[in-house]
Amino acid sequence: MVYQILVSDPLSEDGIQPLRKADGVEITIQTALTPEQLAEKIHEYDALLVRSQTQVTRDLISKATNLKVIGRAGVGVDNIDLEAATEFGVLVVNAPDGNTNSAAEHTMAMIMSLARNIPQAFHALKHNKWDRKSYVGVELKNKTLGVVGLGRIGAEVAFRAKGQRMNVKAYDPFLTEEKAKKMGIGYGTLEEVLQSADFITVHTPLLKETKHLINQKAFEQMKDGVQIVNCARGGIIDEEALYQAIVTKKVAGAALDVFEEEPITDHKLLELPEVIATPHLGASTKEAQENVAIDVSKDVVTFLTGGLARNPVNLPSVPKEVMNKIEPYFHLSEKLGIFLTNLTQEAMEEVNIYYAGDLTDVEVSPLTRNTVKGLLKRHLGDHVNDVNATYLAEKKGITINEHKTSSSKGFTNLLTVEVRTNLGTRSVAGTLLNGLGARLVKVDDYSVDVIPEGHMVFVRHKDQPGAIGRVGTLLAKELVNIATMQVGRSNVGGDAIMILTVDKHLEKEGLEQLKQLSDIYGVTAIDL
Ligand SMILES: NC(=O)C1=CN([C@@H]2O[C@H](COP(=O)(O)OP(=O)(O)OC[C@H]3O[C@@H](n4cnc5c(N)ncnc54)[C@H](O)[C@@H]3O)[C@@H](O)[C@H]2O)C=CC1
Ligand SMILES: O=C(O)CCC(=O)C(=O)O
C-alpha cells in the first residue's frame, strides 16, 4: 500500500525529508490550490500537511474520504476543525515545540522595534526624511513587561526580557507564586499584570476564554502610555478597543504579528503611526520551519505505518477491551473535570482522583486522563486530549494521583475528583446510575443530585430566607429560564450552595448582577 500525502502550505524542503525517505508514501506538494480545488481532490489523500494558511474546514474533512491524519506544522490548530476531524476519525498532529524559539525571538524584535520606533524611522529615511526628533524612544531597562500566558513562548520571552534587564510580571492560570519565584519573575492576577506593565505581550492560545481578553475594560486598567504586543493570535486583543485606546493616547504603541482576519492588508490599525506590524512571521525562520516540518512529517509517517503519534491533538488511544469497560464513564469523568475547573480560580497544585465501587475492578488510567483533560481544557483549549492530558498537567507542575478506594458511600460506582490549590481543596463526585446515566452527587461537602449537562449556574450563599428567590427573580429579569435547581447547606442559617441548570449560558453582565445580591458569596457560570 502506498499512502498519498498532500502538502498544501509551503513547508521546509529539509523538514519534509522524513516523508521523502519513508517507504510506502508518496508526496504531492501543491501550495496554491484554491479551497474549491483542494475540496475536489482531497479524497485522493491519506494525509494532509498544512501550516496556518489552509483552512481545514468541516466541509473539506467531510469530503476527505481516505484521510487518516492531518499534520499541522506549527502550534495553533485554529485553522483545523478539530471536532469534525474527531467526528470523521481523522487524527490531527501538531508540532508544538519546534517554533517556540523563533516566536519568542520575533516577540523580542517587536518589543525592541516598538520601544525605539525602528520601523517608523526606517520608513521615513526611505522616504528621504532625516528625522531624529520624532523618533525618540524609551529604554527597556527597568521597565515592566507584563506577560499574559506563560506557556512555552511566554516563558522564553520572559527569560529574554530579563536579559534586557526588564522586570517581568506574568499571569497564567497555571502559574504559582513558587514557580514564578523559581523563574525569577513576578506573579500577579491578570488585573495586577495589566496595571503594572509598561509593555504587555500576550502568549495564550485563542480560545472562547481568551477571545478579546484584552478589551476596552482591560485597556482602562493599564498605565497611560503602555505598549502592546501580540505575536500569538489575532482576536486575543479586541482590535476595535485597541484602535480606540491608541487614538485616545491611552496606548502609546502596538506591535502586531497576527490579526483577527488573515491575510489582511487593508486595516485601520495599519494606518496609525503608533502601530507596527508583520504578516504573521513569528515562526518564519529557516530553523523553525525545518523543526516543525520534521516533527510533523515524522508523526504522520509513524501514524500511517501503524505507530503511535508523539503529538496527537484530538484522538484518544485506548485498547478496545479496556475501552469497552470504561466507555460508559467517559462522559461523567470529563464533565466532573470541567465542573471542578470552573470552581477553581487558583493554580492547581495536586489532583486526586478516587475510584470506588465497580470502578475498582477496571483499568482506570484512561478515565484519569479524560478527567484531567476536563480540568485543563478551559485554559489550554482543544489540543488537550486523552493522550496528552496528564503529560501537560505534569508540565504545568500539577501532580496527578489515582486512588482506588472501598469507600463508595452507598453508590455502586463513585468517581471523586479533588483539586488542591494554595487556598485549599475543592472536590466533586459523580456516579453512573444504572439506566439513568451520569449524576453529580457531591460538590465539596454538599450532597446533590444533578445531571452534569448543559448550562449551569453555581451559587455559594448564606442559608437565609429570600436568597433563593432573589436569584430566581434576577435570572428571570435576564430572561434565563431555570430548568432545575438543587440546594445544599451545611447547617440551618450557615453556608449553602445552589446548582441551577438553565436553558442558556448566563452572560457576564447577569453574572456580575447576581454577585451583587445580598447573602450571595460567589457565582460561577458553568457550561458542560
Ligand atoms: N506568531 C506566530 O507565528 C506564532 C504564534 N504562536 C501562537 O502563540 C501562542 C502561544 O503558543 P505556546 O506558548 O506554544 O502555547 P502554550 O500552550 O505552551 O502556552 C499557552 C499558555 O497560555 C495560558 N493561558 C490560557 N488561557 C489563559 C488566560 N485566560 N490568561 C492567561 N494565560 C492563559 C496557558 O495556561 C498556557 O500556559 C499560541 O496562540 C500559538 O498559536 C505560536 C507559534 C508561532
Ligand atoms: O505556520 C506558521 O508560520 C504560523 C505558526 C503559528 O502561528 C503557530 O505555530 O501557531
CA of 96 to the centre of ligand 2 (A): 10
CA of 98 to the centre of ligand 2 (A): 10
Assess whether the region 3-97+287-304 and the region 100-277 belong to the same CATH fold: yes
Ligand 1 atom closest to residue 205's alpha carbon, by position in its atom list = 39
Residue 439 annotated as catalytic? no
Residue 280 annotated as catalytic? yes
CA of 283 to the centre of ligand 2 (A): 6
Task: Determine the pLDDT at residue 315.
Answer: 64
Ligand 2 atom closest to residue 99's alpha carbon, by position in its atom list = 9
**Cis amide leading into 263 (omega within 30):** yes
Alpha helices (H) along 3-77: 17-21, 35-41, 58-63
Task: Determine the pLDDT at residue 389.
Answer: 84
Task: Determine the pLDDT at residue 478.
Answer: 85
If you take atom 3 of ligand 1, which residue's CA is the nearest one? 282
Superfamily of domain 3-97+287-304, CATH level 4: NAD(P)-binding Rossmann-like Domain (3.40.50.720)
Superfamily of domain 100-277, CATH level 4: NAD(P)-binding Rossmann-like Domain (3.40.50.720)
Ligand 2 atom closest to residue 9's alpha carbon, by position in its atom list = 1
Q: How far is CA 70 from CA 54, 79, 296, in A?
A: 11, 11, 9
Residue 43: name the closest of 59, 21, 19, 29 by CA.
59
Task: Determine the pLDDT at residue 321.
Answer: 67
If you take atom 7 of ligand 1, which residue's CA is the nearest one? 232
Q: Which fold has domain 455-528?
A: Alpha-Beta Plaits (3.30.70)
Residue 233 annotated as catalytic? yes
Point out the catalytic residue in the list 262, 363, 394, 507.
262
CA of 202 to the centre of ligand 1 (A): 8
Kindly state the cell numbers that stand for 323: 475501552
Residue 232: name the closest of 248, 253, 211, 250 by CA.
211
Q: 246 CB less than 6 Å from ligand 1?
A: no
Longest dimension (CA), the chain: 83
Lining ligand 2 with CB less than 6 A are 51-52, 74-76, 99, 280, 282-284
Point out the catalytic residue in the list 72, 233, 369, 426.
233
Q: 231 CB less than 6 Å from ligand 1?
A: yes
Q: 289 CB less than 6 Å from ligand 1?
A: no
Could you tell me the end-to-end alpha-carbon distance of the chain, in angstroms, rounded to an integer?
Answer: 43
Ligand 1 atom closest to residue 150's alpha carbon, by position in its atom list = 37
Closest-approaching ligand to the CA atom of 278: 1
ipTM, 2 dp? 0.99
Closest-approaching ligand to the CA atom of 341: 1
Distance from C-alpha of 98 to C-alpha of 74, rounded to nearest angstrom: 7
Task: Determine the pLDDT at residue 319.
Answer: 58
Closest-approaching ligand to the CA atom of 152: 1
Q: 379 CB less than 6 Å from ligand 1?
A: yes
Q: How far is CA 485 from CA 449, 451, 457, in A?
A: 10, 11, 9
Mean pLDDT split into 10-residue runs, the chain, 528 residues: 96 93 95 97 98 96 95 94 83 94 98 98 98 98 98 98 98 95 97 98 94 97 98 98 98 98 95 98 97 96 83 68 78 95 93 94 87 92 76 90 92 96 95 90 94 94 91 90 90 91 89 90 93
Q: Which residues pair with 413 in a beta bridge?
A: 357
Task: Determine the pLDDT at residue 395.
Answer: 87
Q: What is the dihedral of CA 107, 108, 113, 116, to 10 degrees?
A: 140
Distance from C-alpha of 223 to C-alpha of 225, rounded to nearest angstrom: 6
Q: Which residues pair with 353 in a beta bridge?
A: 402, 417
Kindly state the cell numbers that stand for 518: 445580598
CA of 232 to the centre of ligand 1 (A): 6
Point out the catalytic residue in the list 280, 369, 378, 420.
280
Query: Is 318-453 assigned to CATH 3.90.199.10?
Result: no
CA of 76 to the centre of ligand 2 (A): 6
Domain boundaries, the chain: 3-97+287-304, 100-277, 318-453, 455-528
Looking at residue 248, the DSSP 8-state letter turns out to be T
